[in-house]
Structure 1
């Protein structure tokens, strides 16, 4: 696999490698009982590999972006297990890898690597069988300190997409993966938590997130006004071992009133355990649901 070394020092796989031609994925009819993942595994066990692929492909495309790392990695692994890794890499995936290369080339600080990470996540969604996108995503994730996720993506690459690499290169990549795992195990780096916030109130409610041992990326606390009956998905990136807490704020129209109330739900429970989550990979595997209820 062709790689380019940019001025930043990170090695990026060439986005212009021509893909292998082949059939494109399709979505077919599937059984209706259970979650898509459960139905897919039942279909695979029954020998219906194409049906299993259709289910996990649809589930992957329907995930919000970003999604909890455990969910997305699980679906991407299933796509590679039941799909055809010789499928043509889509033009959208190639385009986003190329954009990531530009972001890294022009990066003056960590923000440039975050931009590359977002582009590469889009690339692996569009074509999970792209070796270039998967490899590059692992490198970009390590650059922003998401060591656990970087190691998981490198493992995915090594397990499914590294056929063209030589033995010496594979040993070096395994070493890089083990290094990231070691950094994570020592409590280094960051974790991304993905929240699903629901407003069950009849009025707009403000909500703010904060990492109490520091500041949430991109360097400041984050707040939104959520309209009645609405829901949204928001990611927070936190330092390993810290706690991310949220507080609801009284609003009038779309303006905030009064002081911020950390660790206080809108229902008035001042010691609400649901108002804080430890920044651990265990909490990054699924959506953390926050339901704002009013008196």
Structure 2
């Protein structure tokens, strides 16, 4: 009997250790220009000693087309001293107005930029369109440090077919928010991946001037929203998996008996929920598993950007959350 009790105690201890949060949370103090909620950040990317912050660049609201770059040396100093101001520069997105005009004239209404990744000095962006539009789009541009510009190639405009529900309609306000490089190609995940029929990501070669039609990569059914994606070594990725409790996002409400349903239930209603998940690309398909659930005080932010850094992660929201501004969070590995 005593050995049985000992085994129970040991199992409980091991379980407690396994569930211990692997990160400590640190909120960075952003310069006022960057903290402005009107930036509506939608993506992050670590490039050398810079952390790139992608603004949605909502031209229809007269927003400036831009990408900010935080100096990671100043970020590390602030994480160490807490009072160190962050230094940054701003890259202008050249030709975005021309691309928007081209989309709008074709009836594919531009709504903003959602995803960012890079291959060398070439930056790739995903464009979200209005819900009725059958396509989102991929664009690219050359980053020039000296001129502080990213000049978009107006000839490169890749249509990304939106997956449809069984009734033929598109998911409200959904786009290809998750974009990452993979083996000299790009991997793109749609925001909604809980279709009762097939779910898949897109893989797109980047070598050609005019790229091929995106290749389908099967994906195991995935609840909630996917809002950003970052490579984590050979064939592995980490993504933001987020649920918003509002009525407009009711399509994301995972029903029982799916075990994920318990994470979003609050009595007879729903609550916001956010976690990081790990994805593995193997045998021409993607599989996922939970990685880390954010603490309760961070569940109500609409996290849209993710970047891996020194064993941890940066997260940024658009403008929604209790801070009512842009909030940059660093998850430091313990």
Question: So what's the TM-score if we normalise by structure 1?
Answer: 0.26
Higher strand fraction (1 or 2): 2
Higher helix fraction (1 or 2): 1
Question: So what's the TM-score if we normalise by structure 2?
Answer: 0.24
